[in-house]
Amino acid sequence: MMPILICEDIAQQRQQITAIIENYVLMEELDMQVELATDDPFQILEYLKRNPNRAGIYFLDIDLNDKMNGIELAAQIRAYDDIGKIIFVTSHADLAPVTFQYKVEAYDFIVKDNLEQLQKQIVSCLYSIDTRKTINSDQKALYVFKSGSKTRSVNQQEILFFETTSTPHVIGLQTTFAHYKFYGRLKDVQMSLPKLIRVHKSILVNLEQVTAIDTENYLLEFQHGQSCPVAISKIRRVHKEWQAFMKKQKRRS
Protein backbone atom coordinates (compact mmCIF):
# COMPACT_ATOMS: atom_id res chain seq x y z
CA MET A 1 0.00 0.00 0.00
CA MET A 2 1.46 3.35 -1.05
CA PRO A 3 1.58 5.86 1.82
CA ILE A 4 0.36 9.40 1.12
CA LEU A 5 1.87 12.26 3.12
CA ILE A 6 0.54 15.82 3.12
CA CYS A 7 2.34 18.93 4.36
CA GLU A 8 0.23 22.11 4.33
CA ASP A 9 0.42 24.85 6.95
CA ILE A 10 -3.16 26.16 6.57
CA ALA A 11 -5.47 23.84 8.51
CA GLN A 12 -8.56 24.33 6.32
CA GLN A 13 -6.66 23.66 3.11
CA ARG A 14 -4.92 20.66 4.67
CA GLN A 15 -8.32 19.22 5.60
CA GLN A 16 -9.66 19.86 2.09
CA ILE A 17 -6.71 18.14 0.41
CA THR A 18 -6.95 15.21 2.81
CA ALA A 19 -10.70 14.83 2.22
CA ILE A 20 -10.31 14.94 -1.58
CA ILE A 21 -7.64 12.24 -1.48
CA GLU A 22 -9.40 9.97 1.02
CA ASN A 23 -12.72 10.16 -0.82
CA TYR A 24 -11.15 9.28 -4.18
CA VAL A 25 -9.02 6.47 -2.74
CA LEU A 26 -12.09 4.99 -1.03
CA MET A 27 -14.33 5.35 -4.08
CA GLU A 28 -11.81 3.79 -6.48
CA GLU A 29 -10.45 1.26 -3.94
CA LEU A 30 -6.88 2.33 -4.65
CA ASP A 31 -3.93 0.67 -2.96
CA MET A 32 -3.04 3.94 -1.22
CA GLN A 33 -3.63 5.49 2.19
CA VAL A 34 -3.15 8.90 3.83
CA GLU A 35 -0.73 8.13 6.64
CA LEU A 36 0.19 11.66 7.69
CA ALA A 37 -1.29 15.14 7.20
CA THR A 38 0.62 17.85 9.03
CA ASP A 39 1.79 21.47 8.99
CA ASP A 40 5.23 20.45 10.27
CA PRO A 41 7.79 19.43 7.61
CA PHE A 42 9.94 17.78 10.26
CA GLN A 43 7.12 15.33 11.02
CA ILE A 44 7.33 14.19 7.39
CA LEU A 45 11.05 13.52 7.79
CA GLU A 46 10.50 11.71 11.09
CA TYR A 47 7.94 9.47 9.38
CA LEU A 48 10.45 8.63 6.65
CA LYS A 49 13.10 7.79 9.23
CA ARG A 50 10.69 5.39 10.95
CA ASN A 51 9.45 3.90 7.66
CA PRO A 52 12.42 3.62 5.30
CA ASN A 53 12.33 2.16 1.79
CA ARG A 54 8.63 2.82 1.14
CA ALA A 55 7.82 4.61 -2.10
CA GLY A 56 5.26 7.27 -1.21
CA ILE A 57 3.13 10.07 -2.63
CA TYR A 58 3.78 13.55 -1.23
CA PHE A 59 1.49 16.59 -1.49
CA LEU A 60 3.57 19.58 -0.38
CA ASP A 61 2.74 23.24 0.00
CA ILE A 62 5.73 25.43 -0.87
CA ASP A 63 5.27 28.26 1.64
CA LEU A 64 5.02 26.39 4.95
CA ASN A 65 5.81 29.35 7.24
CA ASP A 66 8.45 27.20 8.89
CA LYS A 67 12.23 26.93 9.06
CA MET A 68 11.97 24.68 6.01
CA ASN A 69 9.87 25.42 2.92
CA GLY A 70 8.20 22.81 0.73
CA ILE A 71 10.94 22.78 -1.90
CA GLU A 72 13.62 22.22 0.73
CA LEU A 73 11.45 19.51 2.27
CA ALA A 74 11.18 17.80 -1.13
CA ALA A 75 14.97 17.77 -1.40
CA GLN A 76 15.18 16.15 2.04
CA ILE A 77 12.52 13.60 1.08
CA ARG A 78 14.67 12.50 -1.86
CA ALA A 79 17.37 11.41 0.60
CA TYR A 80 14.91 8.80 1.93
CA ASP A 81 12.67 8.11 -1.06
CA ASP A 82 14.20 8.55 -4.49
CA ILE A 83 11.27 7.06 -6.44
CA GLY A 84 8.29 8.59 -4.61
CA LYS A 85 5.89 11.01 -6.33
CA ILE A 86 6.23 14.62 -5.16
CA ILE A 87 3.35 16.96 -5.99
CA PHE A 88 3.56 20.64 -5.09
CA VAL A 89 0.24 22.25 -4.12
CA THR A 90 0.63 26.00 -3.75
CA SER A 91 -0.81 29.46 -4.33
CA HIS A 92 2.48 30.62 -5.85
CA ALA A 93 2.37 29.70 -9.55
CA ASP A 94 5.53 31.75 -10.13
CA LEU A 95 7.58 29.33 -8.02
CA ALA A 96 7.24 26.41 -10.44
CA PRO A 97 10.61 27.09 -12.16
CA VAL A 98 12.35 27.20 -8.76
CA THR A 99 11.34 23.60 -8.02
CA PHE A 100 13.34 22.41 -11.02
CA GLN A 101 16.51 24.07 -9.70
CA TYR A 102 16.42 21.73 -6.69
CA LYS A 103 16.27 18.66 -8.99
CA VAL A 104 13.63 16.91 -6.87
CA GLU A 105 11.85 15.51 -9.97
CA ALA A 106 8.39 16.78 -9.06
CA TYR A 107 5.53 14.71 -10.46
CA ASP A 108 3.18 17.69 -10.78
CA PHE A 109 2.64 21.30 -9.74
CA ILE A 110 -0.91 22.21 -8.67
CA VAL A 111 -2.01 25.81 -8.19
CA LYS A 112 -4.80 25.95 -5.61
CA ASP A 113 -6.87 28.73 -7.20
CA ASN A 114 -10.24 27.20 -6.38
CA LEU A 115 -11.53 24.06 -4.71
CA GLU A 116 -13.10 22.53 -7.84
CA GLN A 117 -9.89 22.84 -9.86
CA LEU A 118 -7.85 21.59 -6.91
CA GLN A 119 -10.00 18.46 -6.71
CA LYS A 120 -9.72 17.78 -10.44
CA GLN A 121 -5.94 18.05 -10.44
CA ILE A 122 -5.43 15.94 -7.32
CA VAL A 123 -7.71 13.22 -8.71
CA SER A 124 -5.85 13.39 -12.03
CA CYS A 125 -2.52 12.86 -10.23
CA LEU A 126 -3.78 9.89 -8.23
CA TYR A 127 -5.37 8.31 -11.30
CA SER A 128 -2.15 8.72 -13.29
CA ILE A 129 0.03 7.29 -10.51
CA ASP A 130 -2.26 4.29 -10.01
CA THR A 131 -2.51 3.61 -13.75
CA ARG A 132 1.25 3.70 -14.26
CA LYS A 133 1.77 1.52 -11.20
CA THR A 134 -0.63 -1.07 -12.63
CA ILE A 135 1.06 -1.02 -16.04
CA ASN A 136 4.50 -1.36 -14.47
CA SER A 137 3.39 -4.25 -12.28
CA ASP A 138 2.00 -6.06 -15.32
CA GLN A 139 5.25 -5.52 -17.21
CA LYS A 140 7.29 -6.80 -14.29
CA ALA A 141 5.28 -9.92 -13.44
CA LEU A 142 8.50 -11.92 -13.07
CA TYR A 143 11.23 -11.35 -10.50
CA VAL A 144 14.60 -12.18 -12.04
CA PHE A 145 17.73 -12.92 -10.00
CA LYS A 146 21.00 -14.83 -10.25
CA SER A 147 21.40 -17.87 -7.98
CA GLY A 148 24.85 -19.40 -8.28
CA SER A 149 25.68 -19.71 -11.97
CA LYS A 150 22.02 -19.69 -13.03
CA THR A 151 19.69 -16.81 -13.79
CA ARG A 152 16.26 -17.62 -12.40
CA SER A 153 12.85 -16.00 -12.57
CA VAL A 154 9.80 -16.47 -10.36
CA ASN A 155 6.26 -15.23 -10.69
CA GLN A 156 5.86 -12.30 -8.31
CA GLN A 157 2.51 -13.69 -7.17
CA GLU A 158 4.32 -16.78 -5.84
CA ILE A 159 6.72 -14.80 -3.64
CA LEU A 160 6.06 -15.22 0.09
CA PHE A 161 8.98 -13.37 1.62
CA PHE A 162 12.65 -12.41 1.39
CA GLU A 163 14.94 -12.65 4.40
CA THR A 164 18.57 -12.08 5.26
CA THR A 165 20.63 -15.16 6.09
CA SER A 166 23.54 -15.93 8.40
CA THR A 167 25.86 -15.50 5.41
CA PRO A 168 26.67 -11.81 4.79
CA HIS A 169 25.04 -10.32 1.67
CA VAL A 170 23.09 -13.52 0.96
CA ILE A 171 19.29 -13.28 0.78
CA GLY A 172 16.80 -16.11 1.10
CA LEU A 173 13.72 -16.09 -1.13
CA GLN A 174 10.76 -18.23 -0.08
CA THR A 175 8.14 -18.83 -2.76
CA THR A 176 5.02 -20.96 -2.73
CA PHE A 177 6.92 -23.96 -4.07
CA ALA A 178 10.65 -23.41 -3.50
CA HIS A 179 13.41 -21.69 -1.56
CA TYR A 180 16.34 -19.87 -3.20
CA LYS A 181 19.45 -18.05 -2.05
CA PHE A 182 21.26 -15.31 -3.91
CA TYR A 183 23.62 -12.41 -3.33
CA GLY A 184 21.91 -9.08 -2.78
CA ARG A 185 20.47 -6.54 -0.35
CA LEU A 186 16.94 -6.29 1.01
CA LYS A 187 16.98 -2.57 0.22
CA ASP A 188 17.51 -3.30 -3.47
CA VAL A 189 14.80 -5.98 -3.46
CA GLN A 190 12.30 -3.54 -1.96
CA MET A 191 13.19 -0.91 -4.53
CA SER A 192 12.40 -3.36 -7.34
CA LEU A 193 9.30 -4.79 -5.61
CA PRO A 194 7.69 -1.82 -3.80
CA LYS A 195 4.51 -3.75 -2.98
CA LEU A 196 6.47 -5.80 -0.42
CA ILE A 197 6.48 -4.47 3.12
CA ARG A 198 9.20 -4.73 5.74
CA VAL A 199 7.76 -6.62 8.71
CA HIS A 200 11.10 -7.06 10.42
CA LYS A 201 14.52 -5.48 9.93
CA SER A 202 15.57 -8.65 8.08
CA ILE A 203 12.32 -9.68 6.33
CA LEU A 204 10.24 -8.39 3.40
CA VAL A 205 6.79 -9.93 2.93
CA ASN A 206 4.22 -10.20 0.16
CA LEU A 207 1.02 -9.49 2.14
CA GLU A 208 -1.09 -10.93 -0.68
CA GLN A 209 0.17 -14.40 0.28
CA VAL A 210 -0.47 -14.11 4.03
CA THR A 211 -3.36 -16.33 5.15
CA ALA A 212 -3.33 -15.53 8.88
CA ILE A 213 -1.55 -13.42 11.48
CA ASP A 214 -0.72 -14.89 14.88
CA THR A 215 -0.64 -11.76 17.04
CA GLU A 216 0.26 -13.69 20.19
CA ASN A 217 3.38 -15.31 18.74
CA TYR A 218 4.11 -12.51 16.23
CA LEU A 219 4.03 -14.75 13.17
CA LEU A 220 2.73 -14.38 9.63
CA GLU A 221 1.32 -17.62 8.22
CA PHE A 222 1.13 -18.72 4.59
CA GLN A 223 -0.93 -21.24 2.65
CA HIS A 224 1.34 -24.31 2.73
CA GLY A 225 2.43 -24.14 6.34
CA GLN A 226 5.28 -21.66 5.93
CA SER A 227 5.59 -18.80 8.39
CA CYS A 228 7.87 -15.92 9.25
CA PRO A 229 8.25 -13.64 12.27
CA VAL A 230 7.03 -10.06 12.41
CA ALA A 231 8.61 -7.45 14.69
CA ILE A 232 6.62 -6.53 17.79
CA SER A 233 6.90 -2.85 16.86
CA LYS A 234 5.36 -3.50 13.42
CA ILE A 235 2.63 -6.03 14.24
CA ARG A 236 -0.21 -3.48 14.49
CA ARG A 237 0.62 -1.73 11.22
CA VAL A 238 1.11 -5.03 9.38
CA HIS A 239 -2.17 -6.39 10.74
CA LYS A 240 -3.99 -3.20 9.69
CA GLU A 241 -2.58 -3.30 6.15
CA TRP A 242 -3.36 -7.00 5.80
CA GLN A 243 -6.97 -6.50 6.95
CA ALA A 244 -7.38 -3.63 4.46
CA PHE A 245 -6.07 -5.87 1.67
CA MET A 246 -8.43 -8.72 2.66
CA LYS A 247 -11.45 -6.39 2.70
CA LYS A 248 -10.52 -5.12 -0.73
CA GLN A 249 -10.27 -8.68 -2.06
CA LYS A 250 -13.70 -9.55 -0.64
CA ARG A 251 -15.29 -6.54 -2.34
CA ARG A 252 -13.82 -7.64 -5.66
CA SER A 253 -14.97 -11.26 -5.32
What are the φ/ψ torsions at residue 149 (nearest 5 degrees)?
A: -95, 0
What is the per-residue pLDDT for 168? 92
Q: In this predicted model, what pLDDT tens digit does every residue of 202-219 receive, in sequence order? A: 999 999 899 999 999 999
- Band of pLDDT at residue 253, cut at 50, 70 and 90: low
Phi–psi pair at 85, nearest 5 degrees: -100, 115
Report the range out of 10-24, 39-53, 149-163 with the highest average pLDDT. 10-24
The span from the CA of 160 to the CA of 158, in Å, is 6
pTM of structure:
0.56
**Contact (Cβ atoms closer than 8 angstroms) between residue 226 and residue 220:** no
CA–CA dist 43, 7 (Å, integer): 9
- The C-alpha atoms of residue 71 and residue 87 are separated, in whole angstroms, by 10
Q: What domains sit in the chain, N to C, each tagged with a CATH number? A: 2-138 (3.40.50.2300), 142-252 (2.40.50.1020)
> Is there a contact between 199 and 238 (Cβ–Cβ < 8 Å)?
yes
% of the chain residues with pLDDT over 70: 90
Name which of 53, 2, 48 is nearest 186 in CA terms: 53
Contact 59, 8 (CB under 8 A): yes
Cβ proximity of 143 and 156 under 8 Å: yes
Question: Of 30 and 219, which is predicted with more confidence?
Answer: 219
Q: What would the pLDDT profile of 97-155 be if each residue is shown by its tens digit?
A: 665 555 677 888 888 878 898 999 999 999 988 877 755 554 457 788 888 777 887 88
Q: Does residue 176 contact residue 209 with C-beta atoms inside 8 Å?
A: yes
49: buried, middle or exposed (CB in 10 Å: 19+, 13-18, 0-12)? Answer: exposed
Q: What is the structure's pLDDT at 164? A: 95
